[in-house]
């Protein structure tokens, strides 16, 4: 019995260290009860009021009359929109991937391309948007395909720069699946370049992150790049 308890403690320690090393919480996932949900809703409502007040100040700073009919509810609408556009701060990859990683004897390239992406530039708080292409070479584990799009949502629904967003997506997939390699390419238009600044309407920003075999093997990288360009 003592030997069994010691073995269980050892296994528990190994699992805990693995989870911590790969960016996952070691706390068991909790089911939200009504009182917990109500508390979160109360906190969100308090934050909403603060954001609403800030938008009211901004509108007045622009010289607008916030009491005119067209703007009476604009600060609240804008506050709710901003909460939605940044909801990724309150989501984790662990929650997204829970029970969606499967053992599978597959070691060939998996690609999900043309994932719609919308985010906010952290420098000007204006949108940038485009497509995300993801590829990975499984190492006996695969993930539900829709979860790759959900990972994009987790990180894009925050204040971002495209370079960091690309890396965060790639690293999250790599840490969760431990594949032979991960490739992520993002093509996006930035409103901070289109609506203001240099005002270049047709500019497109492309960023990529290659991990594992995609970085080390030119043929694998070329295969991925060729496939994502096909219509």
CA nearest to 95, candidates 8, 27, 43: 27
CA distance 58 to 77: 14
The answer to whether 106 is a known catalytic residue is no
Candidate list 52, 133, 162, 168, residue with the active-site label? 162
User: In the annotation, is 121 catalytic?
Assistant: yes
Across the strands, what pairs with 1? none
Q: Any idea of the CA torsion for 25, 27, 33, 36, to the nearest 10 degrees?
A: -70
Residue 190 bears catalytic tag: yes
Catalytic residue (one of 43, 123, 163, 222): 123
DSSP H stretches of helix in the chain: 2-21, 34-61, 74-85, 93-97, 145-156, 162-177, 191-194, 213-216, 218-229
Verify whether residue 162 is a known catalytic residue.
Answer: yes
CA separation for the pair 147, 110 (Å, rounded)? 13
**Measured distance CA(83)–CA(223) in Å, rounded:** 39
Helix, strand, coil percentages in the chain from 3-state DSSP, rounded to 5: 50, 20, 25
Catalytic residue among 52, 160, 168, 190: 190
The whole-angstrom separation of Cα 190 and Cα 200 is 10
Of 121, 133, 160, 168, catalytic = 121
Question: Residues 124, 175, 187, 223: which is the catalytic one?
Answer: 124
Catalytic pick among 43, 122, 163, 222: 122
**Residue 7 CB neighbour total at 10 angstroms:** 10
Q: Which residues are identified as catalytic?
A: 121-124, 162, 190, 192
């Amino acid at each position: 019995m003592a030997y069994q308890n010691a073995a269980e403690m050892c296994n528990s320690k190994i699992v805990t260290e693995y989870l911590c090393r790969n960016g996952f919480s070691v706390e068991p996932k909790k089911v939200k009860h009504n009182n917990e949900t109500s508390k979160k809703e109360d906190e969100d409502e308090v934050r909403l009021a603060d954001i609403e007040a800030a938008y009211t100040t901004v509108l007045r700073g622009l010289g607008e009359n916030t009491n005119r009919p067209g703007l009476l509810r604009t600060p609240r609408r804008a506050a709710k929109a901003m909460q939605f556009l940044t909801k990724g701060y309150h989501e984790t990859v662990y929650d997204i991937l829970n029970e969606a990683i499967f053992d599978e004897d597959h070691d060939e390239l998996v690609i999900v391309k043309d994932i719609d992406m919308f985010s906010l530039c952290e420098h000007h708080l204006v949108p940038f948007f485009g497509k995300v292409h993801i590829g990975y070479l499984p190492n006996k584990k695969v993930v539900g395909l829709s979860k790759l799009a959900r990972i994009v949502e987790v990180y894009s629904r925050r204040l971002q720069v495209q370079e960091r967003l690309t890396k965060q997506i790639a690293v999250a997939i790599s840490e969760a699946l431990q594949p032979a390699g991960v490739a992520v390419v993002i093509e996006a238009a930035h409103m901070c370049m289109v609506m203001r600044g240099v005002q270049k309407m047709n500019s497109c920003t492309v960023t990529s992150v290659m991990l594992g075999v995609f970085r080390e093997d030119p043929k694998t990288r070329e295969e991925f790049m060729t496939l994502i360009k096909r219509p």
